[in-house]
Amino acid sequence: MVNISIVGGDTISPHQYFPAYPGSWWQYSDNSILEIEPNWFEYTTTESGPTNADGCPSIIKNRDFVPKMEGYLIYGDTIVSYDDYHNKTGEYEVKLFPTISDGSLFSEGYGRSWRTFYESKDSLITQSGIYYDILAFTEHRETYGSDHQWHDVSWDTIYYAKDVGIVKQITTKWYLNTPSETKELTSYFINN
């Protein structure tokens, strides 16, 4: 017989530089809107526990409650996703905030990208006002070509304000050979 233990039940708050509380939203100068779903979602992980004195294995299920955005669960400073959510297969994680010292692989397949710390600033002026305590990251994207080589696609610089979220993003698309595109925060609501 397998012994199953359920632990946790904690609510995991989002990262202070991406305060993705349920019901929060951000609108940008390009008319895009980033929305967090209105409810907390259960996030359960399963691991093998110790075998008891009768030789029965045990399973530990850790259950937490996290925000969700566009089908992705946000666990603190990490986006968690599954190819098949109900069966929990194909799990992968995306670190929203890599360490300052090295890059973090964002995704990989026919394309891949990295997020790397870029700079910190005391303040940043946008269309909607002045924001303080800024961290900026770059995201470098590449695609795998028919020549079996990786080719540069684009480079984003993303600015996060503490307790606000993404306030500015500059995108350069090398493959189109066009000017950089900039979007800035125009309005937002943090539901905490």
Model pLDDT for residues 97-119, shown as the tens digit of each residue: 655 555 555 555 566 777 788 88
Q: What's the DSSP call for residue 145? A: -
Span 116-172, pLDDT tens digits? 888 889 999 998 899 999 999 888 888 777 888 877 788 889 999 999 999 999 998
**Measured CA angle at 122 (ends 121, 125), to 5 deg:** 85
CA distance 155 to 171: 6
The confidence score (pLDDT) of residue 82 equals 52
Span 116-132, pLDDT tens digits? 888 889 999 998 899 99
**pLDDT confidence band for 42 (50 / 70 / 90):** confident
CA distance 104 to 106: 6
Q: Which residues of 35-67 are buried (b: 16+ CB within 10 A; e: fewer)?
A: ebbeeeeebeeeeebeeeeeeeeeebeeebbbb
The confidence score (pLDDT) of residue 102 equals 54
Domain around 24 = 3-189
Number of domains within the chain: 1
The confidence score (pLDDT) of residue 101 equals 52
Q: What's the DSSP call for residue 15? A: P
Residue 73's H or E segment, with its range, is strand 72-75
pTM of the predicted protein model? 0.77
